[in-house]
Structure 1
Amino acid sequence: MSFNLLSEPIRKFIRDKGWEQFRPIQTAAISKILESSNNFILISRTASGKTEAAFLPILSKVNFREEGIQVLYISPLIALINDQFNRIEDLSKNLDVTITKWHGEANKTQKEKLIKQPNGIVLITPESLEAMFINKPFNVKLLFSNLKYVVIDEIHSFIGTDRGIQLQSILSRLEKENNNLFSVVGLSATMSEENSFREVKEFTGNVDKTKILIDRTPKNINVLFRFFKNEKEELSLELLKDLYKTTKDNKVLIFPNSRGRAEEVAVKLKKISEKVKGHLNYFSHHSSVDKEVREYVEYFAKNNRQNFCIACTSTLELGIDIGTVDDVIQIDATNSIASLIQRVGRSGRKEGKTSNLYLYATNEWSLLQSVACWLLYKDGFIEPPHKNVKPYDIFIHQALSITKGHSGIKLTNLINQLKDNSAFKYIEILEIEEILYHLIKIDFLEKLQDEVIIGVEGEKVVNSRDFYSVFKTEENFKVINAGNTIGEIPFSPQIVEDENILLSAKIWKIKFVDNKTKKIEVIPTKDGKKPMFFGISATIHQKVREKMMEVLYNQSNYDFLDESSLDEIETLQKDFSVFKIQDLRTNRMLLIADKDLRFFTFTGTRINRTIQLLLNVSNVKNILEESSSSFDIELSKDEFILKWNALSSLISNIDAHIYNLLSTHSSLLGFSKWGKYLPNKYQVEILKNNYFDIENTKEFITKINIVYNK
């Protein structure tokens, strides 16, 4: 029995809590972690006890009387660290274990105490760990040389991302400082066997030593789609009234797809509630809202018995504990099935409770995409993580970090360290040397005989606080009212005096914009002037688009759709019935109008971008409409088909086409913080791997047969 395998202090904790039995993932993890030194990835739905599954056996197994930090917990969010700190502290209450938070907002005295006497458990973000390697290189060995376990929470949020490559590199560097091999335990609610297991095993640095423990217990979900057609930027009054009726008597999270929409929802629902004398607990929660305000919202939700409604973005997608949530609302299609799974998991968190999910769509394509995502979710599909075999841009960041941390290093040692790093194992030695010599050329590194140090230009970026992170941070202006910080908003030319903005569930009028200090003075307003919106772009997986097309030609009875949603889907199906599709995999539709064509690709965003590049090279005037995955073309049918059939021949020279595009559109590299410092040919490689999709585009163009309506 798993209970008997645990140490007595942990058994006492369980008895005191009155737990009658373990969850499936806990039962599996306790015995496996206790009996071996393997790496483990624990996969089970949200609120299934993964944190306890990891820490109950780790706390039983590790001897915390040994010197040095014994357990390192790594989280993608500071808020999640603060939340998990209390949880881990509770689990450890019968043990003499020091638990320390280490991030930019953590207590300095506790950090200093840890450096003087390293021990216990440390909770940290990748960026703070990076900063430790750079600023306290001599302490890293002292702190982590006896490390036994690294627990990575929400590990799926790292896999396939630049931040994940950074963390993988840091773990590899951490191994070199360790006397023995530490074990990695990853926690995730959103991974599928089909497409993620190999990647997550590689992430730990040791595929053979990494085992997957997965609980496939399904989650009961009540789902209902609602459709309110809307041609305007703002949500319709009908949708908002329906949304208010649905949510007014419950504890609710509402997920729009942008910060601006979250603010609109919070403000307008509160207005409706004020009019009908309902509760006034309407909040917004996203990265632009001030940290203290976000923390208050989280505290209110967790500790107040009153009903509430929080309009939020991905900031509440991950596992921050906000207590019981009755319903989750999604406004317009999620950008991924993984995101949908995380959001659904926020409700019905108590054992045996059903989750309630309402999906509101405001246009036909969003509705179709929502249906496709839901069907794929029921099929068990989750988008595979993006595979970045040669992350040249993150390589630059880590090369600078290692050089800075050593205060100069022999060039041969730097090359060897980078080559031995599991994050860069596919980057060839000649490529490593070429990039490092380029950094010397642009004065990011300076060569002194056989050593390199940070160069003059390199110092400018390495000494910036922003250096520790590999993701780009937008230029934000602080929003202030009467000396109090409300939050931050991204800068845009539309931010001028007398305009209104939405922030922290209120409407504010801009009184003064200080471009030098990046501050915006505002006052509350109710003048009726429409506030500005801030949107986002998304990358949609090709499987989602293919499922959208399948829905158009599938006469299944979707019992989760309300009458309006069903009518809209049937209208779309009727519109597309003019195309006689024989094979959903190889047929695509060409709509012939009077003067123009519309070509529906129903494929992923990155393939569409590549097709557009090739069309532009072919001098075909086109406009990509991403929501419908279609191109508006200014050609005759015959001319277009001729051009289409010739596209695949252009792919052989794709590097030159991308290079030419990059020379006139340098902003294409805007997604990569460090890509602009690479030699040109490696910038092209980054675009090929992260922005375009060359191989799948070639396959797509080759197999597609065009079906037209006339």
Structure 2
Amino acid sequence: MTAFDMLSEPIRKYIRDQKWESLRPIQDAAIQKIIPNDTNYVLISRTASGKTEAAFLPILSKVNFKEQGVKVLYISPLIALINDQFMRVEKLCAYLDVPVTKWHGEASKGAKDRLIKAPEGIVLITPESVEAMFVNKPHHIHHLFSTVEYVVIDEIHSFLGSDRGIHLQSLLQRLQKVNKKKFSTVALSATVSDENKYAELKDFLGDPERTKVIRDTTPKPINAVFKYFEGGNSELPVELIEDLYEQTKNSKVLIFPNFRGRVEEVAVKLKRESERKNGHKNYFSHHSSVDKEVREDIEEFAKQDNKSRKFCISCTSTLELGIDIGNVDEVVQIDSTNSIASLIQRVGRSGRREDKASNLFLYATDEWSLVQSLACWQLYQEHYIEPVSVSQKPYDILVHQLLSIVKGTSGITLDKLLHEIKLNKTFTNVTEEETVEVISNLIKINFFEKLGKELIIGIEGEKVVNNKDFYSVFKTETFFKVSHNGNKIGELPLSFQLKEDENIFLAARIWKIVEVDLQSKKIEVIPAKDGKKPVFFGNGGDTTHRIREKMLSILKEKNKIESINENGENVIHDLRKEFSIFDLKDIQSDRPLLLSNSNIRFYSFADSRINRTIRFLLETKGIACHYSELESCFSIKTNEDVNQKKMNREIFKSTIKEISKIPSDLDLALSIAIEKSPGILDFSKWGQFLPIKYQIELLKNRHFDFEGCHEFIRNLNFVENQ
């Protein structure tokens, strides 16, 4: 029996009405596996290969929606993705007369009320909305989701290896506990590493033995071009903007700078260039600080099937995931991504509908960013994706989930609370003794209060759990709403720029701030003719060891790099010449050590966590050093005092070898670091509420990598300039 024949008649009719010539490979495989089995499945296939339908076609054919209750829960990382997928799923479900409901902060209250009165069909939701229901309306969880048969998790790679992923794991465990029978899970992704045979991915779904992976390895041709324009200052080079305009003026294009401020700069400057040269006017910016309605208008504009219409959207990861914006001719990346997974997602946005080759242009404004771009591209061609790093003891998410359970139950005994955590596989590696210590600290800081035999939320805890920010496990900035004549434009974070008469870019336009209301957090603006890119905070993420190793490999090689402009060729030539003074033989262990009269430069080409660890351990030895993340380089002045001696090559080398041994007073050093710089824990929203010993464990396991550093230095061979 063919996959098509296995589908229900209404679904077959849908396919015929859509005039599909055939099922996509991932759809064919998924139908034949999902319909006869109740196994968990992960569907891995490139962007725009039909993964959503691959999940829903068999599920809709299999599930009996005439039975009472919600039958399918679709979980998405983005509200925008829910809104986009809602239309696709609703169109498909219309053939079965199955209702589809959006459930998130911006969704219709009327639709939610109807669902509560008569639970049925499919619900599209974010993890944060599930959490809000557990906290505020726990009876709705039982009422709505105790009959769920399938959970579909979209873009699962965006959850893996993150606090948000651990949070989702816990929520899935809690949902399973209230369910009348065991539900099955279907997860979707375009980018998941198979380095450990998907072990982390299977563990994520809570039942490795019952989880299977279906992967479509059909390659997609990509035309990649590298261009270099020296940056020099905080603004993009004029030459880059001019070249970028000429390259994209007759195309439908997505441009991915790495930061929201840069997104606005690109959109405004390209629009200005187009006006100067009488080009099209369709230049937009799309990121989380642009107003939702403005973003949706941009998505709808791009989606319209008009082959003659050109557009350019400068965006962040808001368009990296699977929101449908129709066919895109080209994708541009400005300065390197920090991960191959992100590069894969972005390049997959072009050549979507017609199965054409993807066109990728990688612009670099820094020589090391160019090398990193080349490294990411070469690893992508080698089919490498970063493996996921999973926290074995997520103490900080435990804090959040303890608060959630106590709030949702309006009081619970310690024994019952410990039992709830013990049943949750997310916290399998956290001992009962450790959980008790965490709870004791929450009592100590008045997050919990003892009332007879029960724990309830304490005075300080009420301030936290009653705040809308409680439902998420990631930190959010304080934003000011920006408006013009009552029309919302977007949001800006609190910064030195928020003052009257300052001109800023936002939503691909230039505005003058005329009023700032600090109390209501509102900004009124009027159009202006010139301004500056807005300041947004945050970092670009960590870079893995394999990328850094590949960067060194590129500098060691002598082969000609294809598809790179003359500026880029010259930069790579000069860097290779600079590094040719080192006789590097083993790319895994040999590392350059550059000695001069004034300083020592050590190029570790190690991942971000190991480099942070090296820097921290050097500082514990009293050695101050300048560290450049992009270059992966430590620079130390030779007049630096070390144990009453001036720094020299032998002292430096022996110190590096010495710090490979994890010091016996490491915990003390880390506790001092936390006391001196509380911001060191900013990577964790809930870590600050842990006992100090567990804050130290968070630093060891998530911020630093002492074991990896030990292994790196143990194998390290310094290669000095000749």
TM-score normalised by length of structure 1:
0.98
In 2, the alpha carbon distance for the partners of 1:268 and 1:304 equals: 27
CA displacement 1:633-657 (0-9 Å, x = unmatched): 1232222122222112344432222
- Identity across aligned pairs (percent)? 57
1:493 match:
496
Q: Within 2, Cα distance between the matches of 1:472 and 1:331?
A: 26
Distance change (3 Å), C-alpha of 1:171 and 1:530: closer
> Which sits farther off after the overlay, 506-515 or 672-681?
506-515
Q: CA deviation at 1:586?
A: 1.0
Instruction: Report the Cα offset of residue 116 of structure 1.
Output: 1.0
Taking structure 1 as reference, are residues 247 and 337 closer, same or farther at Cα in structure 2, changes over 3 Å only?
A: same
**Shift in alpha-carbon separation, 1:195–1:476, aligned structure 2, 3 A:** farther
- CA shift at 1:532, angstroms? 4.6
1:270: which partner in 2? 271
SS at match of 1:413: helix
- Counterpart residue number, 2:157: 156
* Shift of residue 195, structure 1, vs aligned partner: 4.1
**In structure 1, what is the Cα distance between the partners aligned to 2:126 and 2:388?**
21
- Tell me which amino acid in the other structure corresponds to 1:310: I
- Per-residue CA deviation, residues 358-415 of structure 1 (Å, 9 max, x unaligned), is 0001111000000000001111111112211111011010011111111111210110
Amino acid at match of 1:123: L
Does the alignment pair 1:638 with 2:638?
Answer: no
**C-alpha spacing 1:45/1:278, structure 2 compared with 1 (3 Å):** same
| Residue 707 of structure 2, aligned match among 692, 695, 704 | 695
**Correspondence list, 1:202-601, <5 A:** 202-303=203-304, 305=306, 306-526=309-529, 528=530, 530-534=532-536, 536-537=538-539, 538-601=541-604
Question: Contact conserved, 2:504 with 2:531, CA < 8 A, in 1?
Answer: no
Whether contact under 8 Å (2:74, 2:122) holds in the other structure is yes
Distance in 1, matches of 2:239 and 2:465, equals 52
1:126-165 superposed matches below 5 A? 126-165=127-166
How far apart, in 1, do the equivalents of 2:397 and 2:585 lie?
A: 45
Deviates more, 1:179-188 or 1:298-307: 298-307
Q: Deviations over 1:201-248 (max 9, x none)?
A: 111110100000000001110111011112111111111111001100
Deviations 1:311-353 (A, max 9, x none): 0000000000001100000001011100000000100112431
Question: How far did 1:545 drift?
Answer: 0.6
- Measured in 1, the distance between the counterparts of 2:671 and 2:372 equals 33
The 1-side partners of 2:96 and 2:568 are apart by 55
CA distance in structure 2 between the partners assigned to 1:177 and 1:303 by the alignment: 43
Distance 1:453 1:307, change over 3 A: same
Gaps of 5+ in 1: none
Q: Check 1:605–1:657 CA distance in 2 against 1; reply closer, same or farther (3 A cut).
A: same
The residue aligned with 2:609 is 606
Q: Say if 1:542 and 1:218 are closer, same or farther in 2 by CA, change over 3 A.
A: same
**How far 1:522 moved relative to its partner?**
2.1
Task: Choose which of 652, 659, 671 in structure 2 pairs with 1:647.
Answer: 659
Gaps of 5+ in 2: 638-646
Instruction: Find the residue that maps to 1:540 and give its secondary structure.
Output: coil
Is the contact between residue 67 and residue 119 of structure 1 (CA under 8 Å) also seen in structure 2? yes
1:586 and 1:642, CA in 2 relative to 1: closer, same or farther beyond 3 A? same
Q: Deviations over 1:276-329 (max 9, x none)?
A: 111010000001111111111111111262100000000000000001100000
- 238-247 or 592-601: bigger deviation: 592-601
Task: Tell me the distance in 1 between the aligned counterparts of 2:607 and 2:523.
Answer: 39
Query: Residue by residue, what CA displacement relative to the aligned partner does 1:65-103 show, whole Å, maximum 9, x if unpaired?
Result: 111100000000011001111101111121021110000
Are 1:659 and 2:671 matched, yes or no? yes
Q: Which runs of 4+ in 1 moved over 6 A?
A: none
Deviations 1:481-537 (A, max 9, x none): 2232211112123433322211110122222322222222222212x4544544642
Distance 2:81 2:495 in 1: 30
Give the secondary-structure state (helix, strand or coil) at the position aligned to 2:712.
helix
Q: What one-letter code is carried by the residue in structure 1 that aligns with 2:694?
A: Y
* Matched-pair contact (CA < 8 Å) for 2:662–2:710: no
SS at match of 1:65: coil
Q: Is the 8 A contact 2:497 2:535 kept in 1?
A: no
Instruction: Judge conservation of contact 1:221–1:354 (CA < 8 Å) in 2.
Output: yes
Change (3 A) 1:529 1:399: closer
Q: Post-superposition shift, 1:160?
A: 0.9
2-structure distance, mates of 1:521, 1:142 = 44
Does the 8 A contact of 1:166 with 1:470 survive in 2? yes
Amino acid of the residue matched to residue 322 of structure 1?
I
**1:26 matched to which residue of 2?**
27
Structure 1 position 196, deviation (Å):
6.7
Partner Cα distance (1:501, 1:608) in 2: 36
Change in Cα spacing, 1:12 to 1:284, as seen in structure 2 (3 Å) is: same
- Do the aligned partners of residues 137 and 532 (structure 1) sit closer, same or farther apart at CA in structure 2, a change above 3 Å counting? closer
What RMSD over aligned residues (CA atoms) do the two structures have, in Å? 1.3
- Take 1:168 and 1:45, find their aligned partners in 2: how far apart are those partners? 24
In structure 2, what is the Cα distance between the partners aligned to 1:563 and 1:585?
Answer: 30
Counterpart of 1:649 in 2: which secondary structure? Answer: coil
SS at match of 2:281: coil
Q: Cα distance, 1:438 vs. partner? A: 1.2
Number of matched residues?
709
Contact 1:73 1:150 in 2 (8 A): yes
**Residues 193 and 388 in structure 2, CA contact (< 8 A), matched pair in contact too:** no
